[in-house]
Amino acid sequence: MEKLQINIDNVLGFISEEEIYKYKKEIVNHIKAIHEKTGKGADFLGWVDLPSKVKHEEIEKIEKIAKSLKDKIEILIVIGIGGSYLGAKSVIDALSTNFRHLQKNSEYPIVLYAGQNMSEDYLFELVEMLDDRQFGIVVISKSGTTTEPAISFRLLKKHLEDTVGKAEAKKRIVAITDAKKGALRQMSEQEGYTTFDIPDNVGGRYSVLTPVGLFPIAAAGYDIQKILEGAKLMEKLTGINSSFDENPSAIYAATRNALYKSGKNIEILVNYRPKLHNFSEWWKQLYGESEGKENKGIYPASVDFTSDLHSMGQYIQEGPRNIFETVISVLQPNNKIAIPFDERNLDQLNFLAYKQINDVNKMAELGTLLAHVDGGVPNIIVEIPKISEQYIGQMIYFFEKACAISGYILDVNPFDQPGVEAYKNNMFALLGKPGYEKATEEIRERIM
């Protein structure tokens, strides 16, 4: 298996190699703390050696249950929010055809999502669409009481039971939750749902390589063992015995933090493949929720090129010079199609006749990189040979490890998210949730 490569040549005109290597000793210590689980948030470092320690029996169970479920249904609804769905969605979208939702007679179910919003129109239209479809549910929540997924599960569970009966509905619901406690664990035991455990020592945004991500991915028909193989290779390459110079996560973390120190406080993740759009969404949650604390952190943004060159390209080229780009560069497509010759040549494209479209896309990628660097935007390149289970697995672990290192460089806990509770407390007070009476009174006085 080839490995992910990182190239920082296009940042060296903005910061020096010496500025990057200033972080070497510190990062070596941070990696040691990560692997020995002695740093901030040590209780949530279970993801670090997960690829090499995942039990074969658990993978077999995931694959077995996924197969039995897909034989009953044509649509699988994954209910979750944040890391409870973004990881699975990012991988499924990356590995699927761009038009999977339009395929007929597919061997595997179409995967749709709920619990990631509270839009009444979204949920009404989802329920309406499911009226004449065979569907199942994977509900993912450690507590079972997170508002958005809990509302969606209550609604869709009732619809499934009304459609196929309670006995059959139980066979079509899989719960991924806390091993011992919480409302969803209690409900699962009472109802007899098939369950998988969310490890206590793995937080949501680092959970894609646990059943949280692996079960939906397997149910969609993708090889989770190959994903874990890729992650396992990256675990080794970024491990405690890897030298700084050969550790891609260390180099990435050092470079982005050196750029941050120089005033580049916005990082834009760039892709040239529409399939990677939701990988960027997963990346944004990973870095935004991990680093954005104590008035610190690089703001994570993303663009889909070449589409967004016709919208955000102007800003990136000539806007404020506080940004840098990290480009996911995929060398080869999984399919081939060439540009045809046209005798009339009214569009004046015959100079491209017989070329693969990927060749044109790669020249757009190179041309954009040169233009942006010339325009004052440093570029880090993360290169993979192609989009496949193994390379997606490598990228997941690569970005997770670099994120943990970056959090430690900032001296924040990269595994908690205290700021997320602020909106929840206000929402519960406004809704009159029991126990929030004082807050309800205070917030109503404030908005009157």
DSSP helix/strand/coil, 92: helix
pLDDT at position 322, please? 98
| Counted domains in the chain | 3
Same domain, 126 and 88: yes
pLDDT surpasses 90 at 425: no
Same domain, 356 and 240: yes
What distances in angstroms separate CA 15 from CA 68, 238, 264, 298, one per listed residue?
Answer: 54, 24, 11, 17
220-227 mean pLDDT: 97
- Indicate which residues carry an active-site annotation: 289, 310, 424
Q: DSSP states of 131-176 as a string?
A: TTS-EEEEEE-SSS--HHHHHHHHHHHHHHHHHH-HHHHHHTEEEE
Banded pLDDT at 350 (limits 50, 70, 90) = very high
Same domain, 175 and 102: yes
Same domain, 111 and 127: yes
373, burial (CB in 10 Å: exposed 0-12, middle 13-18, buried 19+)? middle
Q: Which of 223, 254, 275 is the last residue of a domain?
A: 223
Phi, psi (5° rounding) for residue 161? -65, -40
pLDDT at position 373, please? 98
Q: Is residue 276 part of a domain?
A: yes
Same domain, 219 and 158: yes
The set of residues, in sequence order, having a beta carbon less than 8 Å from that of 386 and lying 6+ positions away, is: 330, 331, 332, 333, 334
Same domain, 304 and 376: yes
Tokens of 6: 């990182």
Percent of the chain at pLDDT > 70 equals 100
E-state strands within 265-395: 266-271, 299-304, 323-330, 379-384
Same domain, 117 and 259: no
60-68 mean pLDDT: 95
pLDDT at position 30, please? 97
Same domain, 202 and 64: yes
Q: Is residue 44 part of a domain?
A: no
pLDDT at position 422, please? 72
Q: Give the model confidence (pLDDT) of 162-182 as tens digits.
A: 999 999 999 999 999 999 999
Q: Using alpha carbons only, what angle is made at residue 77 by residues 75 and 82, rounded to the nearest 5 degrees? A: 145
**CA gap 414, 40 in Å, rounded:** 8
What is the DSSP secondary structure assignment for residue 103, as one 8-state letter? -
Same domain, 93 and 35: no
Banded pLDDT at 100 (limits 50, 70, 90) = confident
Same domain, 253 and 193: no
Q: Please give the biggest Cα pair distance in the chain.
A: 76
pLDDT at position 167, please? 95
Q: Which of 166, 188, 223 is the last residue of a domain?
A: 223
Answer with the residue of higher pLDDT: 421 or 146: 146
Same domain, 65 and 15: no
Banded pLDDT at 13 (limits 50, 70, 90) = very high
**CA gap 448, 438 in Å, rounded:** 16
Q: Give the model confidence (pLDDT) of 20-50 as tens digits.
A: 999 999 999 999 999 999 999 999 999 999 9
Q: Give residue 65's domain range.
A: 50-223
Same domain, 218 and 243: no
Q: Is residue 351 part of a domain?
A: yes
Q: Is residue 45 part of a domain?
A: no
Q: Give the model confidence (pLDDT) of 178-205 as tens digits.
A: 999 999 999 999 999 999 999 999 999 9
Q: Is residue 61 part of a domain?
A: yes
Q: Is residue 154 part of a domain?
A: yes
| Residues listed for the chain | 448
**CA gap 387, 319 in Å, rounded:** 32
Q: Is residue 11 part of a domain?
A: yes
Q: Give the model confidence (pLDDT) of 101-146 as tens digits.
A: 887 778 899 999 999 999 999 999 999 999 989 999 999 999 888 8
Q: Which of 223, 246, 272 is the last residue of a domain?
A: 223
Q: Assign residue 166 the CATH number of its domain.
A: 3.40.50.10490
Q: Is residue 394 part of a domain?
A: yes
pLDDT at position 403, please? 98
Banded pLDDT at 356 (limits 50, 70, 90) = very high
